[in-house]
Structure 1
Amino acid sequence: MGKHTLPEDFFFGAAMSGPQTEGAWRSGGKIENLWDTWSNEDLGDFYNRVGSYAGNDFMARYREDLALMASLGLTTYRTSIQWSRLLTAEGEINPEGAAWYHELFRASREAGLECFVNLYHFDMPTFLFRRGGWERREVVEAYAHYAELAFREFGQEVRYWFTFNEPTVEPEQRYQEGVWYPKLHDFGRARTVQYHISLAHALGVAAFRRAQAAGEVRADAKIGLINAFTPTYTREDPTPADLEAVRMIGGINNRWWLDLITAGHLPEDVVDTLGARGVNLPVRPDDDAILAEGVVDWLGCNYYHPTRVQAPASDRDEYGLPRFADEYIWPEARMNESRGWEIYPQGLYDFGIDVRDNYPGLEWFVSESGMGVMDEYKHRGEDGRIEDPYRVDFVRDHLVSVSEAIAAGSPCRGYHYWGLIDNWSWSNAFKNRYGFVEVDLMDGYRRRLKRSADWLAEVTRTHVLD
């Protein structure tokens, strides 16, 4: 037996989302969400002009895709309910949308797969965004209403629920860095959004607890949060200012959510420093009681890359907004050139040890991990399958880090690979392919196993990594 193994009860699965896979964007009573709106308004912003419309055709191919997952030895997968598909603009259940998710959960059980369900994956209904989006309390309350209806509708079918996926990303990409529609650059507004998402999460957890106590949610169900964690590092011989950059960037991206889900409050040092720099959160008198409801049963960790920072050259950015760090370029970094992200499996071990030491009792799993590569068709072998040994190396190295964290006492329970089946990925569309399964856009979304799928099936069978 190899040196690195994973526990027998360690689960393997796939990660996906509703807006990136489902397609059928105008059918079944679905209303418009922000990705549909952006695609309609400026399709040229998307790689090869591939907008949100089709996902990867999952709604038409879900039986085939579930069977594929099961054939590779997976026992679980995570997707999301689309707010814009489940509810009408009046905030009522859309019967056609509900019927689709009931059918998906039924088919998942039939395929032998446990479906983990996330409620929000960056896909706000457009009409709510136009009323202020996450900057408005009204939308926080609308999310709590949506969560309550979802728990009531599917509470006997779903065991594992999550309030949000990557709540640190939307404030950054949409409001701070100007990458996603509507391409804003406002650090203060981004933190308002982050604060309101924190409240929405806590209200969602409170709705889950009430529904479970009322018997509307099954007694063995659990509620969690999924976030993109980026362990924060600096130079080997840091200055006090470098360490201050680590404190604030790690505080905003990582500790903010870890403190919320384990202690029911935000990190005071981060909030105080924001206030001292003129970034005041829209706090109301009863908010502490709301946030206190945000403690979860377990955590999903999405990990792709670390964050490396150093002291900022100036305390304001080009937009006149507070700046807490500059990027530090580590000379030894190994990069995924397609995505521009550092490959650093050690970060997953370090996260596991952080959980063990600073958040005792918090169970977690790797809820996303994956390697996206451009132009994978160039790696097609003579038998038509894509040869992707780089993906095997990436996943093996990260799973080795997980196994070492578990051996050191970190309670990691499983691993979900992001993009097991190639999917549409925001403004990058199908630019970078993540899958163990190819989606051929030139052949009607046909699925084909890549060579790496053989390795994955062996690992899920044996739990041996070497």
Structure 2
Amino acid sequence: MKIAIPENFVIGAASSAWQTEGWKGKKEGQDSFIDSWYKNEKFVWHEGYGPAVATNFYENYTQDIALMKEIHLTHYRTSINWSRFFTDYEELNVDEEYAKHIDDMINEQIQAGVEPMICLEHYEVPKYLMDKYDGWSSKKVLELYVKYAKIAFERYGDRVKHWFTFNEPIVVQTRCYLDALRWPHEQNTKKWMLWNYHKALATARAVEVYHQLDLPGRIGCILNPEMVYPRSSSAEDQKAAEIYDLFFNKVFFDPMITGVYSKELIALCQKHDIYFDPTEKELATIKANTVDFLGINQYYPKRVRAPRYQWNEETPFHPERYYESFDLPGKQMNNSRGWEIYPEIMYDISMYLKTNYPPIPWLITENGMGREQEERYKNKDGIVQDDYRIEYISKHLYQLLRGIEDGSTCEGYMLWAFTDCVSPMNAFKNRYGLVRIELDEKRTRSLKKSAYWYRSLVDERLLSLSNVEEFK
């Protein structure tokens, strides 16, 4: 059975600057938060690989873009590395060598027929701003970010028509300051919520600047909502799911799509002394400058139940006070990554957005399958036979197309990732790419079986399913 893919539906791929570039050409003092983490805790990065070399995209971008052209990729999303874009973070003196690299990369993509999509911050906040201002805790950093955005828009906005303010703006502070799983392992729930707020406000400010420049494109943000499923139909489990959705999904959806924060979220923040104390002017800015479109990253579901144990009042507040994670028996797993595989999240996020918000254009900006030790699947010609990736994409794309049939405003699907790339802590342990990266000095590239399949998807605009019933 073959399912038609809409003609204007985007079929692309994504990555980021820090996960691909490497440090070639980087100047002293241009470390990002990620670089600093790697230097301080290299031991937590799988086999010591990290952003230092990554895939050497800074040197190899022409080769990679040639491969994009070979695969007939229509869109590629990456980021500008904020920490490398300037030589001074107060006066905002642009590093012209790095800025030219971004120019050349954008021009090369356009020449290859690949539409560039650019994110302004993919965890690349400069270390200098972390050290001096505590990063997104400070409105000074917010002001410097808005100035950075304006400079980027003015330099590249004539050619880049799709901009994103952040990639997964909730992630860094959740890992570092809410759960304290990552360096610097500081537990501070109030800071976590303040960073959430400042990134939402920074998005509104950047949207305002972008529209003032009257550029021929659009601007949005890439969010990573987790489709949350209650354990059961009980009112208690249902409420647990609602609270999770409020703290981790609606905390960005609401201000960015409707321009207004949920009264319930505000009440909970005030109750637990984690409120971000916005000014009336700031709230007016958020209200007046909602995003033009959204990127949505989707990998796995979140399953919760009502908490079974009384909360320890002597511990810092955490939203887990209101829910408990639920481990669904018999779930399908990607054991390499430790994530549940549940393609229905694509249909369900489609209906979630349709039901809860006014119509807004959006696309899947990340979805993919990381698999370890992919060299085991090479054939005699050295091509990785990643049928598991083809199956994974097919199932998720099918559910996305179902959503479109039922009224979703989804515009496309972008695979994570174009090439294998470095991930936080996992480094190259799990491979995500259509293109394999060998860990030799040259970071040699080769197309996987999925790359040729993805090309047929772009060319034929047909998704083949051997038995559609197994996908429902």
Deviates more, 1:95-104 or 1:171-180: 171-180
Distance 1:458 1:285 in 2: 52
> Where does 1:88-167 land on structure 2 (aligned, <5 Å)?
88-89=87-88, 90-130=91-131, 131-167=133-169
Distance 1:293 1:163, change over 3 A: farther
CA offset at residue 180 of structure 1? 2.6
Distance 2:270 2:276 in 1: 8
Partner residue of 1:227 out of 223, 226, 251: 223
Q: Deviations along 1:295-324, whole A, 9 cap, x unmatched?
A: 111111100011111112333488432323
User: Do structure 1's residue 33 and structure 2's residue 32 form an aligned pair?
Assistant: yes
CA offset at residue 3 of structure 1? 4.3
CA offset at residue 222 of structure 1? 0.5
Amino acid at match of 1:395: I
Deviates more, 1:119-128 or 1:293-302: 293-302
Q: Deviations along 1:307-346, whole A, 9 cap, x unmatched?
A: 1111123334884323231101112421111111111110
Partner of 2:470: none
Distance 1:20 1:293 in 2: 34
The number of equivalent residue pairs is: 458
Partner of 1:291: 286
Q: Deviations along 1:60-103, whole A, 9 cap, x unmatched?
A: 11111111112112111101011111122232222112111111
Partner of 2:414: 416
Q: Contact 1:29–1:96 at 8 Å: present in 2 too?
A: no
Q: Contact 1:14–1:69 at 8 Å: present in 2 too?
A: no
Q: Contact 1:297–1:363 at 8 Å: present in 2 too?
A: yes
Deviates more, 1:54-63 or 1:377-386: 377-386
Distance 1:36 1:64 in 2: 25
Partner of 1:265: 260
Amino acid at match of 1:221: G
CA offset at residue 113 of structure 1? 0.8
Partner of 1:254: 249
Partner of 1:458: 456
Distance 1:244 1:279, change over 3 A: farther
User: Do structure 1's residue 207 and structure 2's residue 217 form an aligned pair?
Assistant: no
User: Do structure 1's residue 382 and structure 2's residue 380 form an aligned pair?
Assistant: yes
Deviates more, 1:447-456 or 1:122-131: 447-456
Partner of 2:302: 307
CA offset at residue 391 of structure 1? 0.5
Partner residue of 2:193 out of 171, 185, 191: 191
Distance 2:24 2:253 in 1: 34
Distance 1:314 1:340, change over 3 A: farther
Identity %: 32
Distance 1:178 1:318, change over 3 A: farther
User: Do structure 1's residue 321 and structure 2's residue 317 form an aligned pair?
Assistant: yes
> Where does 1:368-447 land on structure 2 (aligned, <5 Å)?
368-442=366-440, 444-447=442-445
Distance 2:143 2:52 in 1: 28
**What's the TM-score once normalised by structure 1's chain length?**
0.94
Distance 1:16 1:79 in 2: 5
Amino acid at match of 1:78: R
Match of 1:442, SS?
A: coil
Q: Contact 1:371–1:391 at 8 Å: present in 2 too?
A: yes
Q: Contact 1:386–1:450 at 8 Å: present in 2 too?
A: yes
Distance 2:218 2:53 in 1: 31
Partner of 2:272: 277
Distance 2:422 2:32 in 1: 15
Q: Contact 2:24–2:56 at 8 Å: present in 1 too?
A: no
CA offset at residue 28 of structure 1? 6.0
Q: Contact 1:81–1:119 at 8 Å: present in 2 too?
A: yes
Q: Contact 2:272–2:317 at 8 Å: present in 1 too?
A: no
Distance 1:207 1:324 in 2: 38
In angstroms, what is the RMSD of aligned CA positions?
Answer: 1.7
Q: Contact 2:24–2:58 at 8 Å: present in 1 too?
A: no
Match of 1:331, SS?
A: coil
